[in-house]
Amino acid sequence: MFSVIKVDFVLFFNFVSMYKKLSDNPNKEEILDLVKKEQVDFVNIQFTDLYGVIKAVTIPAEKLGAVIDDNVWFDGSSILGFSRICESDMFLKPDLKTFAILPWSRSDKAVTARIIGDVYMPDGKPFEGDPRYVLKRAVAEADKLGYKYFIGPEFEFFLFARDERGKLKPLPHDEGGYFDQTTDMAAGIRQAMAQNMKEVGLEVEALHHEVAPGQHEIGIRFQEVLEMADCAITLRLVIKETAARMGLHATFMPKPVFGINGSGMHVHQSLFKDGKNAFFDEKDQQYHLSEVARQFMAGQLRHVREMNAVINPTVNSYKRLVPGYEAPVYIAWGSRNRSALIRIPRYTEGKTQAARCELRCPDPSCNPYLAYAVMLATGLEGIKGQYKITAPVEENIYHYSEHELDEKGIGKLVGSLGEALDEFKRSELMRRVFGEHTFREYLAAKSAEWDAFRLSVSPWEKERYMELF
């Protein structure tokens, strides 16, 4: 194990890219010059399915100029949530701002770059089932109100070792804990991940060992939501690829190991208007939050059960959302209260641009484009409807009795994917955010997933009941 990791460290740090940073809005000539200079062999034109799984059409680098001019066609009939057989022809329009060379490919025989593409129908209209387009529509709604939505997610994940046959071992890679150094076997691995993130244009803020054995976190810089969604799918790719080349497996599964903390994707959020943080109010001495911020949070609190199927999209997600493991299950907000759904980080004097709220229930198995779209939409719904927020809760809600929860009007998140889908299905807001096609396809795909789980016979059931009855 350790010899493999040592060799791979040498590979990763020897292949640091020397190419100059692209401009903020690169044109065709700039991209092609860089491709030639860096001797790029292939380019992946990427997009995601409804689950957030990365797909790509790979082209030889010499074809990139033609693709930039005329796009690249593909068959969408086999992609989850995309068109029927009779509507299969689609094309990808490259977004040149997302060009990046994949640093690990420099150690392979073919240097490979990627560009994220938007999905279009043959008539030139955006495909409404493209998750990136769903987020763009939500961003357009914010633009109408004069707001820019900035977020900063915290991505947690586990590392698992493989045995000599390449099969995953059932135990985490190390026995480290929160911020540990002496028992942390993955410090160098996280650094290699961060280095690769830097090479593809992600600005890493911090990296550390998380609470559970084998669990880690890497945070990237707060930025506007569409760019962050692109960064999120890139970050997951970088982490998984880096781990794989070191003989490990990285998973964003929310609860891979029973009895220890699961992995979340806490999201720090704020709205900006005319370049200023619309969430900040110096007159509010307790939380420094504006009425806009309170309305935004009220929208998310009121509609969170409707969006659980999007921000917590798997059967496994609800094995993380249980009391006792720092995962929020109660619909409340507060400041230093990590048992609440929304937390207000401590305000630092003079840091008005940093005023924000942290939504703590999303997990990293979600499709970032869809998750961030519904988070933005529910917050905007609170602003447009001038929702009144509930009183803050600063006590540990895990210690409340059922009577105290009822007395204070504190609700709970849904308890399963099936329950989440029932809430999603009834939500006119979710239907509006997704669009009719995407709403229908997402509901069908997730309902099939829930039915497959519900009808399966688990090892626990066999162990529990086979001899008893």
Average pLDDT over residues 24-49: 95
Mean pLDDT in residue range 87-103: 92
The residue written with tokens 């305000």 in the block is 347
467 by Cβ neighbours in 10 Å (0-12 / 13-18 / 19+) ranks as exposed
In this structure, the chain runs to a length of 469
Alpha-carbon distance of 465 to 432, in angstroms, equals 45
What's the rounded mean pLDDT across residues 265-287?
94
Residue range 237-263: mean pLDDT, rounded: 92
* Predicted confidence (pLDDT) at residue 77 exceeds the cutoff of 80: no
Give pTM, 2 decimals: 0.91
- Considering all CA atoms of the chain, what is the largest pairwise distance in Å, rounded to the nearest integer? 72
Query: What's the pLDDT at 116?
Result: 98
Determine if residue 437 is left, alpha or beta; phi over 0 gives left, psi from -120 to 50 gives alpha, anything else beta: alpha
DSSP E strand boundaries for 125-279: 148-162, 168-172, 204-209, 215-220, 223-224, 248-251, 265-273, 276-277
Mean pLDDT of 257-265: 89
Annotated active-site positions, please?
75, 154, 156, 210, 217, 266, 338, 358, 360
Confidence of residue 153 (pLDDT cuts 50, 70, 90): very high
DSSP labels for 294-346?
A: HHHHHHHHHHHHHHHHHHS-STTHHHHSSTTSS---EEEEESS-TTEEEE-PP
Q: Which residues pair with 336 in a beta bridge?
A: none
Kindly state the percentage of the chain with pLDDT values over 70: 90
Per the model's pLDDT, the better-predicted residue between 326 and 154 turns out to be: 154
Q: Do residues 270 and 355 touch, judged by C-beta distance below 8 A?
A: yes
Residue 466 to residue 468: CA distance in whole angstroms: 6
Arch. (CATH architecture) of 21-125 = Roll (3.10)
Is residue 19 pLDDT above 60, yes or no? no
Same fold, 21-125 and 137-461: no
Per-domain residue ranges of the chain: 21-125, 137-461
Residue 91's beta-bridge partner residues?
73, 120
Contact 300, 308 (CB under 8 A): no
**pLDDT attached to residue 2:** 29
> CA nearest 220: which of 203, 236, 232?
203
What φ, ψ does residue 82 adopt, rounded to 5°? -95, -155
Three-state DSSP at 281 gives coil
Per-residue model confidence as pLDDT tens digits over 226-243: 999 999 999 999 999 999
Q: Please give the pLDDT value at position 83.
A: 59
**Of 62, 126, 136, residue with least CA distance to 92:** 126
Residue 23 above 90 pLDDT? no
Give residue 165's identity as a one-letter amino acid code.
Answer: R
- Return the pLDDT at 18: 37
The continuous run of DSSP H or E covering 120 comes out as strand 112-120
Q: What is the mean pLDDT of the chain?
A: 88
pLDDT beyond 80 at 85: no
Q: What is the pLDDT of residue 337?
A: 74
Q: What does residue 435 show for φ and ψ, rounded to 5 degrees?
A: 85, 150
pLDDT of residue 325: 65
Cβ-defined contacts of 166-172 (< 8 Å, 24+): 168/249, 171/213, 171/214, 171/257, 172/212, 172/213, 172/214, 172/215, 172/257
For 102, phi and psi rounded to 5 degrees? -80, 110
Range of lowest pLDDT (173-177, 353-357, 383-387, 392-396): 173-177
Looking at beta carbons, which pairs linking 217-220 to residues 24 or more positions away fall under 8 Å? 217/154, 217/155, 217/156, 217/157, 218/155, 218/190, 218/193, 218/194, 219/152, 219/153, 219/154, 219/155, 220/152, 220/153, 220/155
Tens of pLDDT, residue by residue over 170-209, are 656 666 655 555 555 677 888 999 999 999 999 998 888 8
State the average pLDDT over residues 270-293.
94
> Please, which residues have CB within 8 angstroms of residue 285's CB and are 6 or more apart in sequence?
none
Q: Which of 1-10, 284-293, 322-331, 392-401 is predicted least confidently?
A: 1-10
- Residue in the block written with tokens 């043959």: 122
Q: Which of 100-104, 246-250, 325-329 has the lowest mean pLDDT?
A: 325-329
Q: Which CATH fold topology does 137-461 show?
A: Creatine Kinase; Chain A, domain 2 (3.30.590)
pLDDT of residue 4: 33
